[in-house]
Chain A
Amino acid sequence: MNPFSSGTRLRDMIRAIRACKTAAEERAVVRKECAAIRAAINENDQDYRHRNLAKLMFIHMLGYPTHFGQMECLKLIASPGFPEKRIGYLGLMLLLDERQEVLMLVTNSVKQDLNHTNQYIVGLALCALGNICSAEMARDLAPEVERLLQFRDPNIRKKAALCSIRIIKKVPDLAENFINPVAALLKEKHHGVLITGIQLCTDLCKVSPEALEYFRKKCTDGLVRTLRDLVNSPYAPEYDIAGITDPFLHIRLLKLLRVLGQGDADASDAMNDILAQVATKTESNKNAGNAILYECVETIMSIEDNGGLRVLAINILGRFLSNRDNNIRYVALNMLMRAITVDAQAVQRHRSTILECVKDSDASIRKRALELVYLLVNESNVKPLTKELVDYLEVSDQDFKGDLTAKICSIIEKFSPEKIWYIDQMLKVLTEAGNFVKDEVWHALVVVISNASDLHGYTVRALFRALQTTAEQESLVRVAVWCIGEYGDLLVNNAGMLNVEDPITVTESDAVDVVESAIKRHASDLTTKSMALIALLKLSSRFPSCSGRIKDIVVQHKGSLVLELQQRSLEFNSIIEKHQNIRSALVERMPVLDEASFGGRRASSLPNTVSTSNGTAVKLPNGVAKPSAAPLVDLLDLSDDVPAPSSSGGDFLQDLLGVDLAPATQSEGTSQAPKAGTDVLLDLLSIGSNPAQDNSVSTPDILSSAQDHKPAIASLDVLAAPSLTQASSSTASNMMDLLDGFTPAPPKPANNGPAYPSIVAFESSSLRLTFNFSKQPGNPQTTTISGTFTNLSSNVFTDFVFQAAVPKFLQLHLDPASGNSLPASGNGTITQSLKVTNSQHGKKPLVMRLRIAYKVDGKDVLEEGQINNFPRDL
């Protein structure tokens, strides 16, 4: 006989698979077996059905597809014998899960088995139901399960209890049916029934307030008694673990008492004595005892306050924390984290021990401890704690540095008592772990530096010193390069010396050296190099004596293969060479960055900054804000860093360039004007027209064409008070403000804000949905979509619900819509913002399915569609 036909025994197949030396061999064996099993299925072979299913389960465990065997499970379950049913139910649990529709077909068989005369078959059905039942099955079979809670054999009762847990979790409405039978289970002596009954009771209390009230009144005393009897019970070999009788039962009792005691002083009172007894008398030299203590502490912390007990609990945690067993220390950290809300003072007492745990060799413990330390920081201890953490940063594991850095930065930002301390600590972090510092963190640092005018000199000198010791940390290099560009003069003349500083001697050429090495540094990325180029441009004006040398460095990049660098190199070179007269005005020190808008970027943006970024938006007639700004603004690298939010984009440029552009910029009402303004500037700087701009202008834009029909004044209004569709683009560019301050806009359109054309995502006879897109800089994968619904019919839509679905490689986040009723005939809109993250960015385009439900005159309407016309590269 062919050894791989369905005639092989299970054992032989497993042997054959184990004998395979390569994955290809294994696949071949599995393929043959699967083919044979399929053939047997097609012939409706009965004799080997259970063997074949067993084989399939093994194959399934190896990770091969076995869906074709699902119906075999159902057939086995429907057969009369125990052995067939046993393997059939096992297959059901293994090969299927609750989401498969095949499962519905089994409901009837399960129902019959729940009523079977053979109690072991009843047990099989209960087990399968408990493990995989869906909400529908739960509804259908709940009465059977409820009845089985009173079955004569305790082994069925316990299975029914666990099955009931699944049922009430799937369908909480069914909870009340179980209250009475469960009350009976709590009085049982059989440990299995008691354990499962208590668990069911706990879950009932969680889903149903009535159940909680009922059990609290009727059962608290009984449960306390049960726990007392258990704690004081003599040695029972059947349940003994490390000298304790049934720790599992202990723990479940403590959990239920916790639920009953929480928020109820009387119930809490009733359990105080026994909790004290458990907390003091439980042996803590073995895992089982500690598991009970752990649960007991948690219960003490959760129920109503009894001072004495809490002290006891915190002491137990203190003991845990100094235990030599890593597991015990781990759970102690865990518990302290929860205890912090109850008694922060007591947890603070263990601060030094916790801090030691941050330095543990065990990654799990380190991580826990770091989380805890983070919660312990407050205004009074921030300095010593930060110092400890920063010191540890130096010696910590590479793979821990990321987490540690993020936490330290967050602590510094949150609790910094003064600017100089903030700057000092951040510089330390940048020096130690600059490569782990997130962009927004060093951006925030630059904003703080910019605002601390009395510390400019101090900071730039400190950064210069730091760069002497290490040049390996990217973000340190960036911040240093930025500061040297801005405050290079203070570096050289030692201006604004603080008492704590040692004077240093830095020549102009030393300062240029540092920037030059940053640009030549092999590891520097585009951002750093571009920042260095700008710093050089600025230094060329600050240090006229070095101007020639700087020009040489800048020129070296005119052949760069990176477009951005090449462009900057050419432009800057031209400024240095030909435009001496405006250079100093061009590269003036950056105005102070507005802390409120940059610092609180994650919070809601201020109206001020919205208007600022609108200043840029104004430059383009069609609301595609950024691209127009790109050639000019990018060159000057100042675009959005408007200090005085009141000034319009035009004024600002005027200020900067010292060129009278006022007439051009003020007549922006006509769509031609801004372009003209840009052209003037372009001419000034002798730069040819930029392809990026052409692109942006020629980008088809549905929204804008719609706007074009409006009078120019109207579109100005729109820009002044941004409509909802534009709000997203202006916030997006607002988010970018900071970045633009000192990083180049990389050549990718991703960084240029809403460079994507809007689309009509969906249109039916009665409804239109348009999408506007924007991206945040540095995060090309994520697109913020602002959707606008317009009602094209003459009836009001109410109960408007929008749903969207995306394939697996996308992640979708929907914000709440602006409303749920849509006025007729386009007299208003609903906006809905969505965020999509494309894990296959650059490889796959966005795609989305949507479903829109609403009511017209009380009648339900459902519209569905798929959006395939997303712009590419989203």
Chain B
Amino acid sequence: IVHKLIKLQIHFVLLISRQGKVRLTKWYSPYSQKERSKVIRELSGIVLNRGPKLCNFVEWRGHRVVYRRYAGLYFCMCIDEADNELEVLDIIHHFVEILDRYFGSVCELDLIFNFHKAYYILDEVLIAGEFQESSKRTIIRLLSTHDSMVEMAKEEATSIGNMIAQVTK
């Protein structure tokens, strides 16, 4: 995949289970659908096969992939060669802590059945491949506001539905 990517902090985020199942993918640089599947295949091959005590970085196609394993899930972020790998480890951990707070000790099933929520959370941590917010509290507060807006809309819809039902009875 030959790309002249614009310099970004993070080119993509990948969540892969130990079995190689993709749990989340977010692409901040343009990759075609075909390239995406290729990247996922290649990287899961590399990352899943690395031993436990090794460093959390792999070199891959002129980029670095920083990964960290939490239980059966590998969180991977692809960055430019000249960027700060150690900080990206902290960004991954920051993301995981927020997932944990949001779901209340998060597990893989949460991320499967509520995959869209995992994306919403990621969108509060990163935009355009750049870091957005260091306060976990701010992010959780924003997310719950969003959620309550969705709930309100739902209730409204049902109550309107009820009213219509009553009127048309």
Chain A residues at the B interface, C-beta cutoff of 8 Å: 11, 14, 18, 54, 57-58, 61-63, 65, 81-83, 86-87, 90, 93-94, 97-99, 120, 123, 126-127, 130-131, 155, 158-159, 162-163, 165-166, 169-170, 191-192, 195-196, 199, 206, 238-239, 241, 246-249, 251-252, 287-288, 290-291, 294-295, 298, 326-331, 334, 338, 361-365, 367-368, 811
Expressed in whole angstroms, the Cα–Cα distance for A87 and B135 within the complex equals 25
**With A288-B90, A291-B90 given, is the CB distance from A327 to B57 under 8 Å?**
yes
CB-based contact A62/B128 at 8 Å: no
Bound-state Cα–Cα, A637 to B123, Å: 66
Contact of A364 among B54, B94, B137 (CB under 8 A): B54
* Contact yes or no, A249 B84, CB < 8 A: no
State which residues 8-52 of B face A: CB under 8 Å. Answer: 22-28, 30-33, 37, 40
**Contact residues in A for B149 (Cβ distance below 8 Å):** 82-83, 120
Other A-B contacts than A93-B123, A196-B132, 11 sampled, CB-CB below 8 A, are A11-B113, A54-B116, A90-B123, A131-B127, A195-B134, A196-B130, A248-B91, A331-B85, A331-B86, A362-B55, A811-B2
**B6 and A169 contact, CB distance less than 8 A:** yes
Partner of A18, one of B30, B112, B115: B112
Find B115's partner among A61, A130, A191, A338 (CB 8 Å cutoff): A61
CB distance from B150 to the nearest CB of A (A): 4
Please name all residues of chain B whose beta carbon is closer than 8 Å to the beta carbon of A58 when the two chains form the complex. 115
Asked if B55 contacts A327 (CB within 8 A), the reply is: yes
Q: Interface 1/0s, chain B 122-136, versus A by CB < 8 A?
A: 010001101111111
One of B53, B87, B128 near A165 (C-beta < 8 A): B128
> Which of B71-79, B99-107, B138-146 is the interface stretch?
B138-146
Taking A195-B132, A288-B90, A362-B55 as contacts, is the C-beta distance between A97 and B113 under 8 angstroms?
Answer: no
- Assess whether B63 is interfacial by the CB under 8 Å rule: no
Asked whether, in the complex, the Cβ of B24 is within 8 Å of the Cβ of A61, the reply is yes
CA distance A811 to B25 in the complex (A): 28
CB distance from B111 to the nearest CB of A (A): 11
A159's partner among B27, B127, B146 (CB-CB below 8 A) is: B127
Query: Are B127 and A192 in contact, CB atoms less than 8 angstroms apart?
Result: no
Cα of A288 to Cα of B92 in the assembled complex, Å: 12
Assuming the A-B contacts A196-B132, A364-B55, are A98 and B138 also in contact, with contact meaning beta carbons closer than 8 angstroms in the complex?
no
Known: A83-B153, A90-B119. A195 touches B133 (CB 8 A): yes
Given A127-B127, A131-B128, A162-B130, check contact A327 B150 (CB 8 Å).
no
Number of A-B pairs whose CB atoms are under 8 Å? 163
For A338, the chain B residues whose CB sits under 8 A away are: 82
**B52 shortest CB reach to chain A, Å:** 11
How far is it, in angstroms, between the C-alpha of A159 and the C-alpha of B125 when the chains are bound? 10
- A54: which B residues are within 8 A, CB to CB? 116
CA distance A742 to B113 in the complex (A): 65
CB pair B128–A130 under 8 Å, yes or no, is: yes
A82/B153 contact (C-beta < 8 A), A90-B119, A327-B89, A329-B55 known: yes
Chain B residue at smallest Cβ distance from A166: B128
Residue in A87, A247, A330 whose beta carbon sits within 8 Å of that of B90 in the complex: A247
- Residues on B with C-beta less than 8 A from A248 are 87, 90-91, 94, 131, 134
Q: How far is the CA of A63 from the CA of B150 in the complex (A)?
A: 29
* B70 within 8 A of partner (CB): no
> Is residue B58 within 8 Å, beta carbon to beta carbon, of the partner chain?
yes
B146 contacts A120, CB within 8 Å?
A: yes
Q: A367 and B116: CB pair below 8 A?
A: no
**B40 to A: closest C-beta gap in Å:** 8
Report the Cα distance A872→B137, complex, angstroms: 65
If A287-B89, A326-B53 touch, does A251 touch B84 (CB 8 Å cutoff)? Answer: yes
A316 to chain B, nearest CB (A): 13
Interface residues on B, range: 35 or more
Query: Which of these, B30, B136, B150, contacts A99 with CB under 8 Å?
Result: B30
Min C-beta distance of B132 to chain A, whole Å: 6
Contact: B22 with A61, CB < 8 Å? yes
Partner of B87, one of A94, A206, A295: A295
The CA-CA distance from A93 to B30 in the complex, in Å, is 11
Kindly report which residue of chain A lies nearest to residue B124, judged by CB atoms.
A127
Name the one of B30, B112, B119 contacting A94, with C-beta atoms under 8 angstroms. B119
Q: Which residue in chain B gives the minimum CB-CB distance to A162? A: B127
Residues of B within 8 A of A328 (CB): 86
Top 5 nearest A-B pairs by Cβ distance?
A291-B86, A326-B55, A162-B127, A130-B127, A130-B128
Q: Are A57 and B120 in contact (CB under 8 A)?
A: no
Verify A82–B54 contact, CB threshold 8 A. no
Bound Cα distance A126, B136 (Å) = 20
| A196-B130, A327-B55 known; A86 vs B150 contact (CB < 8 Å) | yes
On whether the beta carbons of B87 and A291 are closer than 8 Å, the reply is yes
Instruction: Say whether B154 contacts A291, CB under 8 Å.
Output: no
State whether B116 touches A192 (Cβ < 8 A): no
CB A634 to nearest CB in B, in angstroms, measures: 37
With beta carbons under 8 angstroms apart, the residue of A57, A246, A290, A811 that contacts B134 is A246
Distance from A583 Cβ to chain B, minimum over Cβ atoms (Å):
53
Hey, which chain B residues are within 8 Å of A87, CB to CB?
116
Pick from B86, B119, B146 the residue with the most CB of A within 10 Å: B86
Query: Are A330 and B135 interface neighbours, CB within 8 A?
Result: no
Q: How far is the CA of A14 from the CA of B54 in the complex (A)?
A: 34
Q: What A residues does B55 contact at CB under 8 A?
A: 326-327, 329-330, 362, 364-365
From A18, A86, A163, A191, give the contact of B120 (CB < 8 A). A86
Assuming the A-B contacts A326-B54, A326-B55, are A199 and B30 also in contact, with contact meaning beta carbons closer than 8 angstroms in the complex?
no
The chain B residue sitting closest to A158, CB to CB, is: B132
Q: List 21 A-B contacts (CB under 8 A).
A: A61-B22, A63-B22, A82-B149, A86-B120, A87-B116, A90-B119, A97-B27, A155-B138, A192-B138, A199-B130, A238-B137, A247-B90, A251-B84, A294-B86, A327-B56, A329-B55, A331-B86, A334-B85, A362-B55, A363-B54, A364-B59
What A residues does B112 contact at CB under 8 A? 14, 18
- The residue on B at minimum CB distance from A325 is B55
A364 contacts B24, C-beta separation under 8 Å: no
Instruction: Give the shortest distance, in Å, between B95 (CB) and chain A (any CB).
Output: 12
**A97-B30, A99-B30 known; A287+B135 contact, CB < 8 A:** no
Q: Which residue of A lies closest to B82 (CB)?
A: A338
Complex contacts, A295 vs chain B, CB 8 Å: 84, 87
Shortest Cβ gap from B128 to chain A (Å):
4
Q: In whole angstroms, how far apart are the Cα atoms of A457 and B68 in the complex? A: 57
- Whether A131 pairs with B28 at a CB distance below 8 angstroms is yes
Min CB distance B100 to A, Å, is 15
Q: Point out the residue from B30, B40, B87, B138 that lies within 8 Å of A251, measured CB to CB.
A: B87
* Chain A: minimal CB distance from B129 (Å): 8
A86 to B143, CA, bound (A): 12
Known: A251-B84, A331-B86, A364-B55. Is A14-B127 also a contact (CB below 8 A)?
no
Interface-central residue, B23, B94, B123, B127, by most chain A CB under 10 Å: B127
Q: Which residues of A contact B26 (CB under 8 A)?
A: 93
Q: Of A191, A246, A290, which contacts B86 at CB under 8 A?
A: A290
| CB <8 Å contact, B22 and A57 | no
Q: What is the CA–CA distance of A302 and B163 in the complex, to the nearest angstrom?
A: 68
Contact of A14 with B130 in the complex, beta carbons under 8 Å? no
Collect the chain A residues with CB atoms within 8 Å of residue B89's CB: 287, 291, 327
A62-B22 in contact (CB<8A) = yes
Question: In the complex, how many angstroms separate the beta carbon of B73 from the nearest chain A beta carbon?
Answer: 14
Q: Given that A97-B30, A195-B134 are contacting pairs, would A327 and B86 also be in contact in the complex, using a CB cutoff of 8 Å?
A: yes
Please indicate which of the listed interface residues B2, B31, B138 has the most CB atoms of chain A within 10 Å of its own CB: B138
For B135, the chain A residues whose CB sits under 8 A away are 191-192, 238-239
**Residue on B with the closest CB to A119?**
B145
Task: Tell me, in angstroms, the Cα distance from A131 to B2 when the chains sit together.
Answer: 21
Chain A nearest CB from B49 CB (Å) reads 10
CB distance from B5 to the nearest CB of A (A): 11
B90 touches A249 (CB 8 A): no
Contacts of B58 in A (CB 8 A): 364
Q: B142–A155 contact, CB under 8 A?
A: yes
Most buried by A among B24, B26, B116: B116
- In the assembled complex, how far is the CB of residue B33 from the closest CB belonging to chain A, in whole angstroms? 8
